[in-house]
Amino acid sequence: MSHFFPPFLTPISFLLFLLFLIPCPISSLPHPLFLLSIPLFLIPLNVVEALQEFWQMKQSRGAELRNGALVLYEMVPAASPPYVCYVTLPGGSCFGSFQFCPTKAEARRSAAKIALMNSVFNEHPSRRITDDFIEKSVSEALASFNVKEADNPNTGIGAFRFMLESNKGKSMLEFQELMTVFQLLHWNGSLKAMRERQCSRQEVLAHYSHRALDDDIRNQMALDWVNREQNIPGALSRELAATERELDEARLAGKELRFHKEKKDILLLAAGQLGSAHSSGC
């Protein structure tokens, strides 16, 4: 298939070449899933290899990748089709197979395909957080919520501006990776508990803006769900069922999945802790 590419371009750089060929405003850029309608001959034959090459290229060009350039795949256990695979990129963003996959290999390729398209799409200059992007985003948020205080970090809009300005120059995927922590804190009820302890938004932002999503955070959230299940029997199973539906819907729509996937993993961790507690109590 190499004859489809100009001699001076690898499959990855050719995709980048296509993306940068015609600069366009962010509002006119298609959703990455739409990019999958690109003719098949423009997509690398070995998309799994191409995705890994892309991130190795980014690392070689100075990208700060905390855990290296390794792309991780996770198959969902299943005895028969359709098979589902998730892929986690070096920064933490997660995507999943979005097609009906009759084999595990096809599920892996499907996940790599949407992850590669999003990775390349994310390199476009309009996907960077700039002063213009911040002003436009804050203005839209002000209009949506009909509020005026955009510079007070103790308000929701002010905190939004603070987060954007703190991440100026980063891409939208990088920003989404950071926001996943705050999405989980909100979902788990931790932000509400912090407010009840009189913690200011500024203090919470300052603490978690530089905190990676790690096993300590996951274990603490799982413990919160263990306590919740003990107080309200059935709460855990209901939340897990809802989360699995949301995850499947987002996966089939080709969306970034980190938030939904982390929720599911935390709930499964809590279920495991409950099971261990029951076993040890017998």
165-187 pLDDT tens trace? 888 888 888 888 888 888 898 89
The average pLDDT across 222-236 equals 95
Contacts of 164 (CB under 8 A, 6+ apart): 129, 133, 134, 137, 138, 175
Which stretch of 113-127, 188-202, 229-243 has the lowest confidence by average pLDDT?
Answer: 188-202
The average pLDDT across 89-100 equals 92
The average pLDDT across 217-237 equals 94
CATH class, domain 37-123, is alpha beta
In the predicted structure, residue 190 carries a pLDDT above the cut 80:
yes
What pLDDT does residue 171 have?
Answer: 86
Contacts of 221 (CB under 8 A, 6+ apart): 184, 188, 190, 266, 270
CA 23, chain centre distance (Å): 25
What pLDDT does residue 196 have?
Answer: 84
Q: What is the mean pLDDT of the chain?
A: 79
What pLDDT does residue 68 have?
Answer: 85
pLDDT tens profile 105-137: 999 999 999 999 899 888 888 888 899 988 888
3 state DSSP class of 148: coil
The average pLDDT across 29-45 equals 47
In the predicted structure, residue 232 carries a pLDDT above the cut 90:
yes
| Distance from C-alpha of 267 to C-alpha of 251, rounded to nearest angstrom | 18
Domain range annotation of the chain: 37-123
